[in-house]
Structure 1
Amino acid sequence: MSLILTFLGKGGVGKTATAIAVARAFANQSKQVLYVGQQSGEELSMRLGLTLTSDPQNVAPNFTAVNLQSTVLLERYWDKMKGLETQYLRTPFFKEVYGQELGILPGMDAALGLSFLRERDAEGKYDVIIYDGLGDLETLRMLGMPEILGWYLRRFKQVLTGSAIGQAISPFVEPILRSILQVSSTDDISQQAGEMSSVLTRGQQAVNDPSRVAAYLVTSDDPYAIAKAKYLWGSAQQVGLTVAGVLARGHAHLDDDFAPLSIYGIPEGVNELTMPDRLSPLFAPKPIEIDPIAKQVKLFLPTFNKKQVKLIQLGPEVTIEAGDQRRNIFLPKELAGKQATGAKFADSYLLISFG
């Protein structure tokens, strides 16, 4: 398993330069590093000194890089799905549709990027994967995708199982799941849903585990950059992503803005950056803690106040809305069925109590 890191902040504060500097430092520590860019244009290729493609290339010893192209990835996944469809279906109907014809719909970039990260992590070849995505909100939505898809799956599973539409789409679900999610073959749509749920659960657990996935804020002393970093900090908590610390460029003094995070100043033009121990993700506040004995859910929601947070409880789940993000918390069996009796803010934490 790899440590997956990403960097969040306002455009122009040096996120990409910081990410590359961190990648170089890990590589010089004899860590196998994969730098995953997902950006348009030639900027990444110019920064790294070679023409990047969707296939990993060696930049330096222990340092490999890609710049993902969604059209290339979509074509590859489509061809894989068509091969499985031919294998498992008597009358394939995708055979006359070619990957080269497919256009990119909104949201596909994130889904394709997440699938690529999952595959590279599963390979076990890399100690560190650094993701430099299309944009910060898109990155957060991508990392929150396993949780959101899991919610949709839970909500619609009962509708599809045994229904006419469920039986109609069942022959086509299996090859899609096998090509994208790499689950095993089965003709039972309920079992398919169960295996897909297991894959999504593992993805969500990885994002929620600071030893597996973490983010760092990058900012300067510009008030707009600070405001954007604070917003992204709170939004990251909504997808369960641990923000490990703040990398402050120039002479920024930010202790009052980002407490209790550790802040580390970095000079302009740095080309190699070793992360200090105090910026370990394991020292950062956990986005969520559930205490069944105390009958309490504790969410770390910095930069938000009670008026900016909406709480909805339907059945065994609680939905938290904040920062243009919704987080669905599936309650453990000890709290399932119990009604929320109160919610309050204390030291940037939202405390939800259950009766």
Structure 2
Amino acid sequence: MALILTFLGKGGTGRTTVAIAAAKQLASKGARVLLAGQDPGPTLGLLLGASPSPDPQELEQNLQVVQFQSAVLLERSWEEVKKLEAQYLRTPLLKNVYGQELGVLPGMDSALALNAIREYEASGKYDVIIYDGSGDQTTLRMLGMPEILSWYIRRFRKVVEDSDLWRTVSPFIQPISSAVLNVSWSGDNFAQQPTNEVNNLLERGRAAVADPNRVAAYLVTTSAPTAVSTAQYFWGSAQQVGLTVGGVLLNQESVTEAISENFTPLAVSSLPSSPPGDWQPLIDALPDLRQVSGLPKPIEIDIPGRQVRLFLPGFDKKQVKLTQYGPEVTIEAGDQRRNISLPPQLSGQPVKGAKFQNSYLAISF
């Protein structure tokens, strides 16, 4: 399994430069590295002195680079969609629609990029995949997509199955689905086959994002107050999608006590300014980006103590909202929501209290 690394921070703090240096550092240590760029602009190519393509190409020993192009990714993914349709439907409806004809809808870029990263990770060709994305909430929403989509499937499927309309039409689903779609869908297993496949895929994605040995992020900032505040905000937002933040990279600045305090308990590494094309000083200054253990977990569930604790740095209690619906608790912090499915011992138990202290939200049941 490959380790997936990405970088979060305010625009202009040097995320792409850091991503390239990180890729070069890990490749020089023998790791098979894929550097994947999301931005369609020329920045990555100019910094590399090469022209990345939609397919991985070798940049140097152990290091390949690819530039995601949404139109190309959509065309390739569309063929997979048609294969799935043909698998479950006797008469596929999309067979005469071709990927070359499709436009990229707003927001589709993230889903296509996430799927591409998943496929490259599953290929077994790489030890590390470095994703140079937007480095903001868009990247966080992309990594949180498995969690969010699985919630939508759970909730809406339950709503449909409990509705009066579904109870009325469900006796007719089996004969119709057998005759028209050539599948066995009944009132008790509505869309069971494809939905289970999707759920398994999403569950694997959720598990990967929650595992710091598989997916991790680093904050990139300068000493400018706006850059520091933005990095802190992304740190807290990352916890909401279950993403581990491994440390802080202070670009072209020296570490001060105030900077360190802003990001406690994360380690802050100072990165030097270097002439264009001279990557070695930056490579040498980078920490070992694969060492991300020992950090606060985004969520801890204490069943004997009947408590759930969430680590939400970068927020204060006025920015955090808690709601409870059935077996799940929803935490809203900033622009992110997280739905926590409670273990059986706590499921259905009402929230008795919540306290926000020292960057932790402690919920008691």
Distance verdict in 2 for CA 1:293–1:170, change over 3 Å: farther
Q: Which of residues 271, 283, 299 in structure 2 aligns to 1:288?
A: 299
Cα deviation, residue 48, structure 1: 1.7
Match of 1:332 in 2: 343
Instruction: Report the TM-score, using the length of structure 2 for normalisation.
Output: 0.87
Q: Which of residues 198, 201, 204 in structure 2 aligns to 1:202?
A: 204
Cα deviation, residue 257, structure 1: 1.1
Match of 1:148 in 2: 148
Aligned to 2:279, the other structure's residue is in SS state: coil
**How many matched pairs?**
342
Aligned to 1:214, the other structure's residue is in SS state: strand
Given that 2:4 and 2:215 are in contact with CA atoms closer than 8 Å, whether structure 1 keeps it comes out as yes
Match of 1:317 in 2: 328
2-structure distance, mates of 1:106, 1:193: 25
Q: Which moved more, 1:269-278 or 1:100-109?
A: 269-278
Aligned to 1:192, the other structure's residue is in SS state: helix
1-structure distance, mates of 2:184, 2:354: 44
Aligned to 2:346, the other structure's residue is in SS state: coil
Match of 1:265 in 2: 270
1:305 aligns to 2:316 (yes or no):
yes
- Which structure 2 segments of 5+ residues have no match? none
Given that 2:255 and 2:268 are in contact with CA atoms closer than 8 Å, whether structure 1 keeps it comes out as no
Given that 1:262 and 1:279 are in contact with CA atoms closer than 8 Å, whether structure 2 keeps it comes out as no
Aligned to 2:308, the other structure's residue is in SS state: strand
Which amino acid counterpart does residue 25 of structure 1 have in structure 2?
Q
2-structure distance, mates of 1:318, 1:336: 9
Given that 1:302 and 1:348 are in contact with CA atoms closer than 8 Å, whether structure 2 keeps it comes out as yes
1-structure distance, mates of 2:52, 2:354: 49
Cα deviation, residue 159, structure 1: 4.1
Cα deviation, residue 268, structure 1: 1.3
Cα deviation, residue 278, structure 1: 9.1
1:149-174: per-residue Cα shift (whole Å, max 9, x none)? 01001112234559459959979xx9
2-structure distance, mates of 1:294, 1:316: 18
1:32-83: per-residue Cα shift (whole Å, max 9, x none)? 0011111022221222222212211101000011110000000111123224
2-structure distance, mates of 1:299, 1:47: 39
1:266-289: per-residue Cα shift (whole Å, max 9, x none)? 101272426435982102211111
Distance verdict in 2 for CA 1:292–1:133, change over 3 Å: same
Q: Which moved more, 1:185-194 or 1:43-52?
A: 185-194
- State which structure, 1 or 2, has the greater radius of gyration over its C-alpha atoms: 2
2-structure distance, mates of 1:327, 1:294: 22
Aligned to 1:336, the other structure's residue is in SS state: coil
State, as a whole percentage, how many aligned pairs show the same letter: 55
Q: RMSD between aligned alpha carbons?
A: 2.4
Which amino acid counterpart does residue 334 of structure 2 have in structure 1?
G
Match of 1:180 in 2: none
